Structure 1
Amino acid sequence: MKSLYRLLPLLSHQHFTSGQLLAGELQVTRPTVSNWVAELVAQGVDVYSVKGRGYRLAEPISLLDRDRVLALLSKEVTRRLSVLDIRTDVDSTNAWVLAQPPAPGRWSVCTADFQHQGRGRRGRAWQSPPASSVMVSAAVRESLTGDALYAASLVVGVAVVRAIRQVAKVSVALKWPNDIYCDGRKLGGVLCELQGNPLDQPVLVVGIGLNVNASPPGLDRDIGCLRELAGEFIDRNDLLAALLNELQCVLADLGQAGGLATLLQEWASYDCLLNRSVTLVQGEQQQIVVARGIDAQGQLIIDDERGQRRTVNGGEVSVLW
């Protein structure tokens, strides 16, 4: 754990705590406390600093609590867990669970209050202020078909929508293939990776990142968070447990006859691109197309610039909201 994150549970949004008291509690010098506060502020944590009074959080934060999360998990999820590691900070939750692959039928789960090297699609950096988002990765080994593995990011998106509706009480949409949106603002996304042979019960790593109580600073596009939509502070423990519970539900559905088709139909009901003109980027090429939903495999259906209908199984789409 990086030392400065030891400050987070000692800071209150209700009263000031002196630098001297913090230094004594952490067994460091007062200048060290000052430097750590400055670094937290640079990372997006809003901290008031008043000479003679000390430090106070401008807003409450929701630190992850392992016991609370375990109490909220369903019996099925608890039974499957081989590892539930809730960390103060980590380089990458996906990388952590990939390094600890579970046995068949079991899960390895890692989440953290802060992620140093979070990744989105195509290797892009994904980072939010400490203790403001949900960043969780679950490595699972389930008996899934090749079609189910191919459509994993879409299926997980369904679980994310369900969990958000349950905890934040807001309706969100999905943008092919793996983004979570609401009113033209991106709230987060899903990153799935496979380790092993798809024909031999590989490890599927499901990574979910959601802006919960704050948005990442300094981005040049429309980004939102669930707190803004819900109009109230959200407990990240509640949302984390709901995400894992809903993930188990959709994976169980995938094991049933017709389960994939049913989940993709549900995904289609959340599709925010349907019948919209979008920019499709594939490698160095890009073109304006019209999105027409998804097919039975989860591929994007488009009408291209010549009016011809075809499917797309890779690439990136963007739209002017």
Structure 2
Amino acid sequence: MDKLLGLLADGQFHSGEELGEQLGVSRAAVWKKLKAVEELGLALDSVRGKGYRIGSGIELLDHKKIERCIDADVRTQSEVHTCFITDSTNELVSALGPVPAGITRFCLAEHQTKGRGRRGREWSSPFGSTVSLSALWQSGEGTASLEGLSLAVGLGVVKALETLGARALALKWPNDVLWQGKKLCGVLLEVHGDPTGECEVVIGIGINVRLSDEQLASIGQPAVDLFRVCGRTVSRNALAGQLINTLTHLLDGFGQGGFKLFREQWCEYDAFRGKEVTLMASTRSVTGRYMGVDDQGGLLLETASGLHVFNGGEVSLRQS
């Protein structure tokens, strides 16, 4: 399948005979593989006398191209894996086994079948249309030292996207990247280990790169993709490489100084500061004026009873 998609990725027509010769299979086998391509959700054009094509073309993840986008110093601190389809990159990045000390592992997939968002929601990742990346990072300072990490990661994503031309981005506490109020990227952290000792964090990032109108509408909340933000096609491989660069440096800084090193920058992108908001948890909701975040990434909410601090987890935020 990956070889067939590699042939069709240029957006040009390829005859069934040509595809069969390139793949070393019969015309009947080519037809079955083409049906499987459509089952991935890719729009396949078929024209008699011309053959088959993926209408707008597609850029597949290419490990070598990603490596070329990674800074030399980052290569010595990272381990990068790409795959075709997986249940979840968050699960895959841990399933590959122990990570050497001082190394951050990154995993990317063309498509996730069971991608997860916050609060148990499904994260949609249509084939070849997003960047689904997970990082496995180790810390010796305990889980308590990781407060505010999801906010810092969101800031890192914004910086990577700006390097590739995105503008007018905003951050929604605790971990969404927005553009004009629409969701462009989500971050999910899973922490395991000792509250005061060795621990590891799986950082899952999903960025909409280029989705159809129908795919965006199916997400279930206002959403946007990088193509619409930048007004042009952005290379998924360049984006993956830039994310790895930015996150590697960010995690190094966070390990030394925590979220307070990033708080001032994060506040520059804060989507809701000074606005009336409602915080929703599983059993209650609280409304007040959103006053930003503290040095640990806790949300500051001014209510009739005073100023209160709320931490992440299963708490969500919306404008009142």
Same-fold call, TM cutoff 0.5? yes
RMSD: 2.1
Q: Would the alpha carbon gap of residues 50 and 148 (structure 1) be closer, same or farther in structure 2, given more than 3 Å must change?
A: farther
Q: Would the alpha carbon gap of residues 145 and 50 (structure 1) be closer, same or farther in structure 2, given more than 3 Å must change?
A: same
Q: Deviations over 1:95-149 (max 9, x none)?
A: 0112223133112221111111111111211122211111111101134465541
2:205 and 2:119 mapped to 1: Cα distance?
A: 15
Q: Would the alpha carbon gap of residues 30 and 154 (structure 1) be closer, same or farther in structure 2, given more than 3 Å must change?
A: same
The residue that corresponds to 2:129 in the other structure is 132
Q: Does 1:149 align with 2:146?
A: yes
1:307 and 1:58 mapped to 2: Cα distance?
A: 58
The residue that corresponds to 2:231 in the other structure is 231
1:212 and 1:292 mapped to 2: Cα distance?
A: 32
Instruction: Give the 5 Å matches for 1:158-197.
Output: 158-197=155-194
SS at match of 2:248: helix
Letter matched to residue 268 of structure 1: C
Q: Does 1:97 align with 2:75?
A: no
- Which one of 116, 121, 144 corresponds to residue 118 of structure 2? 121
Alpha-carbon shift at residue 259 of structure 1 (Å): 5.6
2:291–2:300 CA contact under 8 A, matched in 1: yes
Q: Which consecutive unaligned segments of at least 5 residues does structure 2 have?
A: none
1:171 and 1:101 mapped to 2: Cα distance?
A: 39
Aligned length: 311
Letter matched to residue 313 of structure 1: N
SS at match of 1:8: helix
1:198 and 1:80 mapped to 2: Cα distance?
A: 25
1:101–1:203 CA contact under 8 A, matched in 2: no
The residue that corresponds to 1:35 in the other structure is 35
- Which one of 37, 54, 59 corresponds to residue 57 of structure 1? 54
With the length of structure 1 as denominator, give the TM-score of the two structures: 0.89
1:171 and 1:60 mapped to 2: Cα distance?
A: 28
Q: Does 1:310 align with 2:308?
A: yes
1:161–1:171 CA contact under 8 A, matched in 2: no
1:163 and 1:270 mapped to 2: Cα distance?
A: 14
1:12 and 1:73 mapped to 2: Cα distance?
A: 24
With the length of structure 2 as denominator, give the TM-score of the two structures: 0.89
Letter matched to residue 209 of structure 1: G
2:104 and 2:20 mapped to 1: Cα distance?
A: 39
Letter matched to residue 103 of structure 2: R
Q: Percent identity?
A: 34
Letter matched to residue 230 of structure 2: A
Q: Which consecutive unaligned segments of at least 5 residues does structure 1 have?
A: none
Letter matched to residue 127 of structure 1: S
1:174–1:271 CA contact under 8 A, matched in 2: yes
The residue that corresponds to 1:10 in the other structure is 7
The residue that corresponds to 2:293 in the other structure is 294
2:230 and 2:241 mapped to 1: Cα distance?
A: 18
Q: Deviations over 1:231-255 (max 9, x none)?
A: 1111111111111111121122224
SS at match of 1:311: strand
1:161 and 1:92 mapped to 2: Cα distance?
A: 23
SS at match of 1:141: strand
SS at match of 1:289: strand
1:101 and 1:172 mapped to 2: Cα distance?
A: 36
Q: Does 1:203 align with 2:200?
A: yes
SS at match of 1:274: coil
